[in-house]
Chain A
Amino acid sequence: MSELRDRIQTIISDEPVSLFMKGTPQFVMCGNSDRALRALLDAGAPVTAVDVLPDPQIRQELSSLSGWPTIPQVFIRGELIGGADIVEELHASGELQQRLDEALGAGREQVVRTVALA
Chain B
Amino acid sequence: MSATATLESLLRAAFADATVLSVEDRTGGGDHFQVVVESPSFAGLTLVEQHRLVYDALAAPLADGTIHELRIRTRAPQTASTGGTA
Contact = CB atoms under 8 A, between A and B. Distances in A.
A81 B59 CA distance: 20
A76 B60 CA distance: 29
20 contacts: A32-B71, A68-B52, A68-B55, A69-B55, A69-B62, A70-B70, A81-B48, A82-B48, A83-B51, A83-B72, A84-B71, A85-B72, A86-B47, A86-B51, A89-B47, A89-B73, A90-B47, A93-B85, A93-B86, A95-B85
Interface residues of B, number: 15
A80 B48 CA distance: 8
Interface of A: 31-32, 67-70, 80-86, 89-90, 93-95
- Residue among B48, B55, B73, B85 facing the most chain A CB atoms (10 A cut-off): B48
Contacts, number: 36
Given A67-B52, A69-B55, A69-B62, A82 B47 contact: yes
Contacts of A86: 47-48, 51
A85 B51 contact: yes
Interface string B50-76: 011001000100100000011111000
